[in-house]
Amino acid sequence: MRVWKKYSVKITFDIMNPLLKIIKVTILFIVYSCLYQHVYAKTINFNFTNAYMDNGVYYVDIDYDIGLTEEAIKALQHGISLEIHTQIQLIQKRRWIWDKKINETILIYRLEHQPLTEDYLVIELKTGKRHSYDRLEAALNYISSISEIPLFKENLLQADANYSARIRTYLDLESLPSPMRPQAYFSPSWDISSKWHVWNIEQ
């Protein structure tokens, strides 16, 4: 019996040691994630959204502040282009089941640095329009001030349903060169994003 007890205790500790390591790593990950969200998740903040209906089409004007981190600015100045995505969704609110996404609009701006002229180029990827600025701040101001964006037609709305719209803006990490992505996914320096900004749609 003594031999069996000694052997069983050894097996128990061999099993518990990896388990304790997993628990420690999980706790550290949770703590880090909370701190990470608290410190870095507010690099984009919305100042206002103005939504209105005109000739059966729902439009929105948007203004927000965007701040690039030192790491992102350094990459930009070394030839890495950055894509800023603004995602706008129409949501049908439902009482007993999950809400339904009715429509989505995504605006994509590519920001580049031109080393010969030291200018900053903004390209609207959906339209191909190009705008050049001599200062980074001016380029970011253009990206972050959007007006008369058509979102959806009025006939999408059902008279007896409730709707909300929401918007968020973020730096698209998938657009970075593939060697940079693994580090960017886990680095606070590359978390350039906003929370969802939500408002109700009045019919």
Residue 38 has pLDDT above 90, yes or no: no
pLDDT at 6: 46
Mean pLDDT of 48-58: 90
pLDDT at 138: 96
Residue 119 has pLDDT above 50, yes or no: yes
Rounded CA-CA distance 198/4 in Å is 63
**In this predicted model, what pLDDT tens digit does every residue of 5-37 receive, in sequence order?**
444 444 444 445 555 554 444 444 344 444 444
The model carries a pTM of 0.75
DSSP string, 35-58: HHHHHHTTSEEEEEEEEEEETTEE
- Contacts for 69 with CB less than 8 Å, ≥ 6 apart: 43, 189, 190, 192
Mean pLDDT of 154-169: 91
pLDDT at 25: 40
**In this predicted model, what pLDDT tens digit does every residue of 176-193 receive, in sequence order?**
999 999 999 999 999 999
